[in-house]
């Protein structure tokens, strides 16, 4: 017999599926917005999820008690439309709110700042989430009378949510945050209008259910709230864990959410016909066992992600998303099955389902906040995941066979003990950190910091197991110190400097030769601060004790500090990793500009191998918008974006700066390269075509770069050739830098040497060895003091040494020739140390050993010999 309610139920199901899509798209976009406000992605995720789940829970409980004789579909339609209108107003509201909060930021510390923002944002997102939660019992009432309506509607809504989690991935890079919100809001308005129209033509007479609040015992509500808390603890923990191991980009939250929701949707849709009591024992065992198994698989999973190569971003996301699904889908399937199974135990499944859903969502909000702000800083990511498993097991005892579940739980607890913390770095990153030993580990709410020591004794700083932040290898030390030298040299008499980021402290160490300099550094990672103090002190020359280090977010610090600073240095970072690209936005550059003293200079460093052509021009365009008198300098493969507050003073400023120093300080300030080497790195103000900029509310590069990296478009040769074509002529450079006639000869030699060196590196990358050697020789002859040219030439000579020895070349003379080109070349110093020692020349051997120790104080062989 035909059921007249089936067409209505089909429409309700379709609308509620679309509602789930728009709801999760809102959540992802709002999480992006909050991450922007906080400057820390995990805080944005946690606050958004907590506010969203708290609102859904409160709305569902309140909606279940609603007893008005109004069409449920009509109410649902107005709720969806109301949320859409609120979403349309939110960008405008945020911009005004941001202005107000910026005024408060100057008067509160970082913790209070985060707390204030958290409360404000939680209240802002709670209201629309509450309206969405109110819609769940209303929709259940509209579908009342259809078999399995709770399972169907909850499952289909979650299917839509899964799609909605992915939708921002397509919207954000193309139309920006505000327009993405508008598009989703338009969908919400369509859903609301369709629900109102359906209520008018298809809705059945209103059935007001009796107010039986005893239908679901409090113990069931509390236990199911605990299940919700466990589920969101797992979600936050998995976001941290898998985002660290695999999806290290802005795509991480959307992909993990989609996988999480897909499992819940499948669970809800699959169990609607299964009522066996055994399921109450199977569900917690399945969820807990698979979660523990996933933790055991972390080393294998990390090795897979560290070594596998993908041909496109889509292939990477699909493959890594599938791998995440393998270890999480059975768990989330179990979580999705709980609600329809529980609601089916009661005489009014729709009413019971609404109450259970509300309790579960409120528990989820508590679980998300506890995981992000308490558990992860206290017991770590894997410890948080295991606590979630334990909580789920305890709550499941209410419905399962307790003796059997308890025995299985004890076994799983024993199996979980060995995986309660992360393995060593060499296990997690076998391709890049083989043989390394962990020296330092710290995990807090913001990041995970590792210091690992390689077989040669050199140390690396890793943040969230992502690509290396810094190293103590001698050439890397010189690069990092140069990031302070250039900005400070370009100012005629810097009195103070602000470093945006500490890292290993080696960059700041480049400022030590400058007299009378007041140093300040702002760093958000306490782990990085501790590592720079304790594990990099020998290499950073103890600069952490000669500098005021502020544990703060750069955004908040620049908004709250009065300044001003003569020099501000923006350190290197990986711009494609989640949360980093904001530091290259127009707004961030503007905040730095506002903190410069008259005549001050802001320098932002970029690593050329981290950019494609499109993303680099976006950053240059953004920088130029704030600093119209900007210019570029090139140091090796690093690009310095120099933003003067007024105009760059050029040669006069550099020479005046050095004249106030003693000779020892001059040598240290220039890295023994002299002033003309640095001025010869000048690259002028390149011509960048009009186009998009990196805006905090319309992000570009964090979505462009991951795809470009997988497509192989991070091509250094392309960027080098473009820069060579853009470089001003010698005459233009002399005019721009105000080079005096008497100084033209050393400047011209340095200017030509830099050009020849870049052409040599381009030829080398292309595989033209003969041209590389020829150009390097020419560059060295033009300017033998240039560190990068001397080091590159020494590398080439050292690599051909075995062949030269076969042809009768004297090894000692060859090594000494290399040292004449580059006196601090570590491999040559080591070889001569051993050579002289083997020949019984103790004094010469000791001299070479001392020189090697000065260049590479952490060298393992040096330290081992010192112990003996």
Which of the residue ranges 48-57, 283-292, 415-424, 495-504 has the most confident prediction, judged by mean pLDDT?
A: 495-504
User: Contact 257/362 with Cβ under 8 angstroms?
Assistant: no
Ranges 212-216, 617-621, 842-846: which has the least confidence: 212-216
pLDDT at residue 632 greater than cutoff 90: yes
The token pair at 671 is 């890295």
Q: Which fold has domain 800-868?
A: 1.25.40
Structure tokens at 830: 């080591």
Encoded tokens for 251: 């795509």
The structural architecture, per CATH, of the domain 471-739 is 3-Layer(aba) Sandwich (3.40)
* Least confident range of 207-211, 236-240, 443-447, 557-561: 207-211
Backbone angles phi, psi at 511, to 5 degrees: -90, -10
CATH 1.20.1440 describes domain 218-421: no
pLDDT band at 2 (very low <50, low <70, confident <90, very high): very low
When the candidates are 1.10.3470, 1.10.60, 1.20.1250, 1.20.1070, the CATH number that belongs to 1-202 is 1.20.1250
DSSP SS3 for 473: coil
Closest to 118 (Cα-Cα) out of 19, 167, 51, 72: 51
Q: Do domains 1-202 and 218-421 have the same CATH topology?
A: yes
- Taking the C-alpha atoms of residue 621 and residue 615, their distance in angstroms, rounded to an integer, is 10
So what's the pLDDT on residue 144? 64
Least confident of 395-399, 459-463, 722-726: 395-399
pLDDT tens digits, one per residue of 739-797: 999 999 999 999 999 999 999 999 999 999 899 999 999 999 999 999 999 999 999 89
- Spell out the domain ranges in the chain: 1-202, 218-421, 425-463, 471-739, 741-791, 800-868
Q: Is the confidence at residue 57, as pLDDT, over 70?
A: yes
pLDDT averaged over every residue in the chain: 86
Cα separation, 379 vs 370, in Å, equals 12
Question: Which of the two residues, 187 and 576, has the higher pLDDT score?
Answer: 187
pTM for the full model?
0.89
**Sequence-ordered list of residues with C-beta below 8 angstroms from that of 868, at least 6 positions apart, any chain:** none
What is the rounded radius of gyration, in angstroms, for the C-alpha atoms of the chain?
31
Assess whether the previous peptide bond of 801 is cis (omega < 30° from 0): no
380 within 8 A of 298, measured Cβ to Cβ: no
| DSSP assignment letter at 145 | T
Q: Contact 374/208 with Cβ under 8 angstroms?
A: no
The torsion angles phi and psi of 566, rounded to 5 degrees, stand at -70, -40
Query: Interior CA angle at 579 toward 370 and 256, to 5°?
Result: 60
**Letter string b/e over residues 5-32, b meaning 16 or more CB atoms within 10 A of that residue's CB:** beebbebbbebbbbbbbbbbbbbbbbbb
Backbone φ and ψ of 548, nearest 5°:
-85, 110
Examine the pLDDT at 30 and tell me if it is beyond 90.
no
Distance CA 103, CA 162 (A): 39
| pLDDT confidence tier of residue 624, bands split at 50, 70 and 90 | very high
Query: Is the omega angle on the peptide bond into residue 564 within 30 degrees of 0, that is, cis?
Result: yes
Residue 790's pLDDT is what? 93
| pLDDT category of residue 1 using cuts at 50, 70 and 90 | very low
> Which pLDDT score is estimated for 420?
87
546 confidence band (pLDDT: 50, 70, 90) = very high
Residue-level pLDDT at 762:
93
Q: What is the pLDDT of residue 340?
A: 84
Average pLDDT over residues 329-351: 85
Cα 33 → chain centroid: 15
pLDDT at 515 (0 to 100): 95
User: How big is the chain, counted in residues?
Assistant: 868
What does each C-alpha distance from 154 to 135, 143, 338, 510, 538 come to in angstroms? 12, 11, 11, 59, 59
pLDDT, tens digit (0-9, with 9 covering 90-100), for 188-245 = 999 999 988 888 776 555 555 555 555 788 888 999 999 999 999 999 999 888 888 8
- pLDDT grade, residue 271 (50/70/90)? confident
Confidence of residue 169 (pLDDT cuts 50, 70, 90): confident
At 589-602, the pLDDT tens digits run 999 999 999 999 99
Q: What angle do CA 828, 470, 505 make, to 5 degrees?
A: 100
Beta bridge partners of 461: 451, 470
The rounded distance, in Å, linking the Cα atoms of 412 and 408 is 6
| More confident site: 350 or 373 | 373
Q: Give the rounded percent of residues in the chain with a pLDDT score beyond 90.
A: 44
């Amino acid at each position: 017999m035909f059921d007249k309610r089936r067409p209505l139920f089909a429409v309700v199901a379709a609308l509620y599926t679309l509602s789930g899509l728009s709801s999760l798209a809102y959540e992802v976009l709002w999480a992006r917005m909050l991450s922007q406000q906080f400057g820390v992605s995990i805080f944005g995720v946690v606050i958004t999820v907590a506010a969203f789940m708290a609102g859904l829970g409160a709305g569902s409980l309140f909606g279940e008690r609603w007893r008005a004789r109004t069409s449920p579909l009509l109410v649902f339609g107005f709720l969806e439309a109301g949320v859409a209108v609120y979403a349309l107003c939110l960008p405008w509201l945020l911009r005004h709110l941001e202005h107000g909060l910026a005024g408060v930021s100057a008067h509160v510390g970082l913790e209070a700042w985060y707390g204030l923002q958290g409360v404000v944002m939680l209240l802002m997102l709670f209201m629309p989430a509450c309206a969405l939660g109110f819609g769940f019992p209303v929709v259940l009432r509209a579908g009342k009378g259809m078999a399995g309506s709770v399972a169907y509607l909850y499952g289909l809504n979650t299917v839509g949510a899964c799609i909605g989690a992915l939708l921002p991935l397509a919207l954000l890079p193309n139309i920006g945050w505000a327009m993405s919100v508008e598009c989703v809001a338009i969908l919400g308005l369509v859903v609301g209008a369709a629900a109102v129209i359906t209520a008018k033509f298809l809705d059945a007479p209103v059935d007001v259910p009796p107010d039986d609040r005893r239908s679901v015992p409090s113990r069931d509500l509390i236990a199911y709230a605990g299940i919700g808390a466990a589920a969101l603890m797992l979600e936050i923990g998995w976001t941290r864990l898998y985002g660290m191991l695999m999806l290290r980009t802005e795509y991480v939250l959307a992909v993990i959410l989609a996988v999480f929701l897909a499992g819940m949707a499948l669970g809800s849709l699959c169990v609607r016909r299964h009522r066996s009591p055994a399921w109450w024992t199977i569900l917690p065992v399945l969820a807990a066992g698979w979660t523990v198994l996933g933790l055991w698989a972390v080393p294998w999973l990390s090795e897979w992600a560290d070594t596998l190569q993908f041909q496109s971003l889509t292939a990477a996301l699909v493959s890594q998303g599938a791998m995440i699904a393998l270890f999480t889908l059975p768990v989330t399937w179990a979580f999705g099955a709980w609600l329809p199974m529980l609601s089916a135990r009661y005489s009014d499944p729709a009413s019971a389902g609404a109450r259970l859903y509300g309790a579960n969502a409120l528990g989820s909000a508590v679980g998300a906040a506890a995981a992000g702000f308490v558990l992860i800083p206290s017991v770590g990511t894997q410890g948080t995941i295991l606590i979630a498993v334990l909580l789920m097991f305890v709550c499941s005892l209410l419905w399962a066979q307790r003796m059997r579940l308890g025995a299985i739980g004890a076994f799983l607890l024993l199996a979980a003990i060995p995986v309660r913390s992360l393995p060593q770095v060499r296990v997690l990153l076998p391709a890049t950190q083989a043989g390394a030993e962990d020296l330092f580990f710290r995990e807090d709410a913001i990041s995970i910091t590792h210091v690992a020591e390689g077989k040669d004794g050199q140390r690396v700083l890793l943040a969230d197991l992502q690509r290396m932040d810094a190293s103590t290898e001698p050439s890397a030390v010189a690069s990092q110190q140069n990031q302070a030298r250039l900005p400070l040299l370009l100012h005629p008499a810097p009195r103070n400097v602000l470093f945006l980021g500490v890292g290993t402290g080696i960059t700041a160490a480049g400022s030590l030769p400058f007299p009378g300099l007041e140093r300040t550094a702002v760093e958000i990672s306490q782990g990085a601060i501790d590592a720079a103090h304790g594990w990099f002190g020998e290499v950073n020359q103890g600069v952490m004790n000669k500098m005021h280090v502020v544990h703060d977010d750069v955004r908040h610090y620049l908004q709250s500090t009065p300044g001003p600073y003569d020099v501000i240095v923006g350190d290197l970072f990986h711009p494609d990793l989640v949360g980093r690209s904001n530091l290259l936005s127009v707004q961030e550059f503007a905040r730095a500009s506002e903190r410069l003293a008259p005549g001050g200079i802001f320098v932002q460093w970029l690593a050329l191998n981290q950019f494609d052509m499109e993303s680099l021009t976006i950053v240059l365009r953004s920088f130029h918008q704030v600093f119209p008198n900007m210019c570029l300098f090139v140091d090796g493969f690093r690009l310095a974006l120099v933003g003067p507050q007024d105009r760059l003073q050029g040669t006069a400023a550099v020479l005046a700066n050095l004249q106030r120093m003693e000779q020892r300080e001059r040598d240290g300030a220039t890295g023994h390269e002299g002033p003309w080497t640095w001025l010869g790195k000048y690259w002028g103000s390149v011509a960048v075509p009009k186009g998009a900029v990196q805006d905090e509310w319309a992000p570009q590069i964090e979505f462009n770069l991951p795809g470009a990296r997988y497509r192989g478009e991070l091509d250094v040769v392309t960027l080098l050739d473009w820069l060579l074509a853009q470089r001003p002529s010698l005459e233009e450079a002399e005019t721009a830098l105000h080079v005096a006639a008497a100084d033209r000869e050393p400047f011209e030699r340095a200017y030509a040497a830099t050009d020849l060196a870049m052409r040599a590196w381009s030829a080398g990358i292309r595989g033209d060895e003969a041209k590389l050697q020829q150009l390097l020789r020419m560059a060295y002859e033009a300017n033998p003091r240039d560190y990068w040219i001397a080091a590159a030439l020494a590398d080439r000579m050292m690599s051909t040494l075995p062949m030269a020895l076969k042809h009768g070349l004297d090894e000692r003379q060859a090594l000494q020739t290399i040292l004449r080109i580059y006196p601090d070349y570590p491999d040559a110093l080591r070889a001569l140390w051993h050579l002289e020692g083997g020949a019984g020349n103790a004094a010469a051997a000791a001299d070479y050993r001392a020189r090697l120790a000065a260049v590479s104080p952490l060298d393992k062989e040096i330290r081992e010999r010192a112990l003996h």
